[in-house]
């Protein structure tokens, strides 16, 4: 059975390639197949979430000028896609492998439920997130402007709720594994990614009620 082989130094350095077509060629020919395999290896192991999650590997098909600074495989409850739904991402950029829980601005079905959970649960929503690696809230789904969950305050949480409520904004919480960590270059990344997703799952489980789960939608 084919198994995820791990990322190489060249995979991380690909995000430093300046030319659009050269970077896209490397991402599509070398990194995307690895992410697809990672998705196939991880998805069946996400049993703690109570329903199937389906892997979707980013294609960046709409890009014509600026090459991406990161790429990922997403795990959604829908067979058709992931952007409209609360989902998880395992991705790679120049410095790290990242594992994140994401509700994109397009996630209109799940975003209201997420906001209600944050408003009702308060700081407990972040205190439920526990992993040996530091967990961060990010201003966007590309990992910008991190705020450590352990440092979350009621004032900061209020700012995050107001930020998320805006139509053009989503919600992202996650963690990362630096490229220098031997885990990223081995199949052990599969088990580590499953653990990280499981530790981020309280937010997902509060956001997605069973009646919203539609494996065909």
pLDDT number for residue 164: 96
CB-count exposure of residue 1 (10 Å: 0-12, 13-18, 19+) = exposed
Domains annotated on the chain, with CATH: 9-210 (3.30.930.20)
Cβ 16 vs Cβ 168: under 8 Å: no
39-43, 122-126, 197-201, 204-208: lowest mean pLDDT where?
Answer: 204-208
In the predicted model, is pLDDT for residue 79 greater than 50? yes
Look up residue 125 and give its two tokens. 């929503």
Q: Is the pTM of this model over 0.85?
A: yes
- Between CA 163 and CA 116 the distance in angstroms is 14
How do residues 13-38 score in pLDDT, each as one tens digit? 999 999 999 999 999 999 999 999 99
pLDDT number for residue 216: 43
Look up residue 4 and give its two tokens. 């995820």
Cβ 203 vs Cβ 173: under 8 Å: yes
- Between CA 214 and CA 207 the distance in angstroms is 14
- Between CA 98 and CA 156 the distance in angstroms is 23
In the predicted model, is pLDDT for residue 210 greater than 60? no
pLDDT number for residue 213: 52
Q: What is the mean pLDDT of residues 58-64?
A: 83
- How many residues are listed for the chain in this entry? 217
């Amino acid at each position: 059975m084919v198994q995820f082989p791990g990322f190489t130094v060249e995979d991380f350095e690909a995000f430093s390639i300046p030319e659009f077509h050269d970077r896209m060629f490397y991402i599509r020919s070398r990194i995307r197949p690895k992410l697809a395999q990672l998705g196939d290896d991880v998805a069946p192991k996400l049993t703690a979430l109570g329903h199937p999650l389906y892997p979707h590997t980013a294609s960046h098909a709409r890009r014509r000028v600026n090459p991406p600074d990161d790429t990922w495989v997403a795990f959604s409850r829908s067979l058709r896609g992931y952007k409209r739904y609360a989902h998880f991402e395992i991705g790679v950029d120049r410095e790290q492998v990242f594992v994140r829980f994401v509700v994109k601005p397009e996630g209109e079905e799940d975003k209201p439920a997420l906001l209600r959970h944050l408003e009702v649960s308060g700081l407990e929503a972040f205190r439920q997130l526990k992993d040996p690696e530091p967990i961060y809230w990010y201003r966007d789904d590309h990992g910008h402007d991190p705020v450590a969950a352990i440092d979350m305050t009621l004032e900061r949480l209020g700012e995050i709720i107001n930020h998320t409520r805006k139509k053009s904004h989503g919600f992202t919480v996650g963690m990362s594994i630096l490229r220098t960590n031997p885990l990223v270059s081995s199949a052990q990344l599969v088990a580590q990614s499953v653990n990280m997703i499981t530790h981020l799952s309280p937010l997902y489980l509060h956001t997605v009620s069973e009646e919203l789960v539609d494996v065909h939608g």
